[in-house]
Amino acid sequence: MLSLIAGSLAIHGGVALLAGVWIVARHFAAATPPSTPILKAIPPPPPPPSESTQRLDAAALEGGATKLAASNPLQSTRLTSLALPALPKLATTPVLPLTAFELSSSSLLAGVQENSDGFGAGVGNGSGGTGKGAGVNFLGVQTNARRIVLMYDVSKTVANAAAKAGVPLERVRSETERLIAELGVNTRFALVEFARNYAFFRPELLASTTANRAAATQWLTTYFATTGTIPHGIPGLVSGSPGFLVALETVFKLAPDAVFILSDGSMQRGTGTASTIPLTEIEKTLSELQSTLPQKAKVYFVGVGVSAENERGIRRLLANNNGTFSTLKP
């Protein structure tokens, strides 16, 4: 009986011991915290290079261009409203220099046609042929001058020579009226007629305003001499002087760019005994007057019934004083 009790106690004691060991082991196992997974931040991939950077890199590899040192402050990884369009592909055809012939042709086309014979067809260099540009064409001579004086020898010999040439002074007056009507706004003008005395329309260079053009046209209609005698009552008539030379001196005081002189080359002194002014004296006076200007004026002499001897002398004095000679023709 005692042996049975002892065996039962031994069995229960063993079971209790095993239960205690199991409880203790489970307690320590629960005290250990579960492992936490470690998260690592993976950086995003770098943005692709911009198109301009790719072009510069490619050019640098090919040795064609130097990469810009400055950074691009407007870089973006997405398209925006400020995005620039792609650069166009430019042609690589080299530009050849102009030849000497092409250069001279361009200069001729842009230059001024001067010393032309014949009667003027109109005012040149205006837009669409309307004559409102800087250039003028008068009695067959064209110039781009903007300060212009027209001088008319209205003596009897000139009136007769003009009529004989088929271009009477009435036609010269009409040509002058057309010229004045078509002057550009940047052009200033003056008119003077002379024989043994002289008279200016106005003793100044006038702006090409509507009022001034109308007044000049009225002066031409009323006082332009066509019969060889300056009309009586013309305002500002200067008499008793060396005629043409004094008129020329007054003209150069206006600092013109161009002076047109219509004459037969036989200029007379003032009132009194008639005497012709030698061409040598005219040349000397003209040379002195040219020296008073910052830049020599262009002198256009339009001959009417000029003798061969006078023409040679006039051409010589003009060549020495920035002038040209032409002949009035129908």
pLDDT for position 148: 97
Task: Tell me the per-residue pLDDT of 187-241, one tens digit each, with 9 for 90 and over.
Answer: 999 999 998 889 999 999 999 999 999 999 999 999 999 999 898 899 999 987 7
E strand map for the chain: 136-138, 141-143, 147-153, 188-194, 198-200, 206-207, 258-263, 298-303, 323-327
| 91-100: average pLDDT | 48
Q: What is the pLDDT of residue 196?
A: 86
pLDDT, average across residues 109-133: 39
* pLDDT higher than 80, residue 35: no
Q: Which residue has the higher pLDDT, 109 or 284?
A: 284
Q: How many CA atoms lie within 13 A of 128 on its CB side?
A: 1
Strand pairing report for 136-138 and 141-143: antiparallel
Per-residue model confidence (pLDDT) at position 310: 94
**pLDDT band at residue 57, thresholds of 50, 70 and 90?**
low
| List of domains in the chain | 157-297+313-330 (3.40.50)
User: Has residue 77 got a pLDDT over 70?
Assistant: no
Angle of helix 169-181 versus helix 156-164 axis, rounded to 10? 90
Do 304 and 158 contact (CB within 8 A), yes or no?
yes
Output the pTM of the full model: 0.61
Nearest CA to 185 out of 129, 149, 133 is that of 133
CA 227 to CA 108: how far, in whole Å?
40
Q: State the average pLDDT over residues 315-329.
A: 94
Q: State residue 129's pLDDT score.
A: 37
Q: Which amino acid is at 270?
A: G
